[in-house]
A and B are shown apart, each in its own frame.
Chain A
Amino acid sequence: MKNNDNTNIIEAYLNNELAGNEQIAFENRIELEPDLLEEIVLHRQIREFVKENEIHNLKSQVKNWILEEKEDVKMKKIAFFSRTNLLRIAASLVLISGLAWLYFNSQSSGNQYFAELVQQNPSTLQGNDDRSNWTQLFREKKYAKVISILNKKEIKTSEEVYYLGLSYAAETNYSKAIIQFSTIILQDSVYAEKANWAMALVFLKQNDENLAKPLLEKISDSDSEFSEKAKDLL
């Protein structure tokens, strides 16, 4: 260690705390003692270092505060979006559940009514052999055979066209089923009400609510035997 005793006087000199004559005397010493000058330079460097070091520490602290602020803003955003998203998800779940309930409910009702429809057997009224034949086959759910027999007939009664339509529907040939039901509706026959109802159910089987809805509305507004069921599906 060099010149330990100079520490205080160097500090006093650098702080301008020496009296006029003390300062002159000390500056004279500096000229004569190179080691003293070297020590003064070191003191200056130490002061400069301590100051710069403190600035460096403050700078790190400020950067941390800025970072904390950014993190805080980020967390608030995440919290906001999480809260908003939770609400959105909850609302969506409620909406989806509701729609799903309505959809499956209408689907299950539609399916149930469709099953009833195709089980609606022809009357057991006596007719010719030909009629006995296909009505029997319809009761036995042999729809393909019913289609085959009825399609061979050049002239069909409204009843035959209606059951041909039902047979096609039962065989999931919906487009041909609709053609039969449309024919009946256009003819304005006694089977028209049934054909409207059957066609609406076929549209529902095809998930075509846009076509089913006006038909169901028309049926529900009428005094048809199917109006209550139509209201149920609506």
Chain B
Amino acid sequence: MNQTEFRSFYNDCWKYCKPRLRNLTNNQADIDDVFSEAISRFWVNVQRGKIAHADNHFALVYVMAKNMWLGNLRKEKHFIGVSIDARKGEDFEIQLPTEEQNFLTKMIQEKDDYQQENSIHNAWGKLDDKCRDLLNATIVYKEKQEELLSKMNFKNTDTVKATKYRCLQYLKKYYYEIAA
């Protein structure tokens, strides 16, 4: 992942989202939480090529964060006697195409559906940094083997493939050991 690009995206996106989210709630901790969740989830999906054609990325992050905030409110039943739907009017006139709206819903749903498998988490902790970086690059960011040659100092693509294989083997080995 390009750290500089992400930082730059964060800087501009935060400037866009912060005042809008503050218009929804004065709770700074809530704002920080939903924004950081939304931008991270959004960034990973963009890098994976899932949101290639969206025009206004900042607006999408804002809508994601807002929907997460509303979802949290519903779950925690913070709204007592106040209609949540009534607050949906505060969208700053962001009208998303149905396709994008559906995708955002799916991304938020992924978060809610995900249940951490502790055995995998523990097995992951046993991998060395190079394995973790390689699996991140290939699984999360879908980086091609050729791109990883110079980035991770591999001699050739076969080495990349062999290393990925070895890392997955170790991860599964650790998993089975822990789960046993």
Contact = CB atoms under 8 A, between A and B. Distances in A.
A11 B116 CA distance: 21
Interface stretch (A22-30, A62-70, A204-212): A62-70
A58 interface: yes
A46 B136 CA distance: 11
Contacts of A56: 40
B6 A58 contact: yes
A126 interface: no
Nearest to B37: A59
Given A2-B176, A51-B140, A7 B124 contact: no
Contact of A58 (B44, B111, B164): B44
A65 B35 CA distance: 12
A61 B32 CA distance: 12
B43 A58 contact: yes
A65 B165 contact: no
Contacts of A94: none
A112 B135 CA distance: 92
A93 interface: no
Interface in B112-136: 114, 116-117, 120-121, 124, 135-136
Contacts of B139: 46-47, 50-51
B57 interface: no
A15 to B, nearest CB: 9
Contact of A1 (B6, B37, B44, B176): B176
A134 to B, nearest CB: 82
Determine the interface band of chain B, counting residues with CB < 8 A from chain A: 35 or more
A54 interface: yes
Contacts, number: 83
A46 B120 CA distance: 7
B172 A62 contact: no
B77 interface: no
A2 B177 CA distance: 11
A45 B39 contact: no
B165 A52 contact: no
A123 interface: no
A60 B10 CA distance: 13
A54 B136 contact: yes
Given A4-B169, A51-B139, A65-B10, A58 B40 contact: yes
Contacts of A46: 120, 139, 168, 171-172, 175
A62 B10 contact: yes
Nearest to B6: A58
A63 to B, nearest CB: 5
A49 B168 contact: no
Nearest to A3: B172
Interface string B49-60: 000000000000
Interface of B: 1, 6-7, 10, 14, 32-33, 35-37, 39-41, 43-44, 111, 114, 116-117, 120-121, 124, 135-136, 139-140, 161, 164-165, 168-169, 171-173, 175-176
Given A50-B124, A50-B136, A53-B124, 20 more contacts: A7-B165, A7-B172, A11-B164, A11-B168, A49-B117, A49-B121, A49-B124, A51-B139, A51-B140, A52-B114, A52-B116, A53-B121, A54-B1, A55-B40, A55-B41, A55-B44, A58-B43, A59-B37, A62-B36, A66-B32
28 contacts: A1-B169, A1-B172, A1-B173, A2-B172, A11-B168, A42-B172, A45-B117, A46-B171, A46-B175, A49-B120, A50-B139, A51-B139, A51-B140, A54-B1, A55-B37, A55-B41, A55-B111, A58-B6, A58-B36, A58-B39, A59-B37, A61-B40, A63-B32, A63-B36, A65-B7, A65-B10, A66-B14, A66-B36
| Closest 3 pairs (CB-CB, A-B) | A58-B40, A62-B36, A59-B40
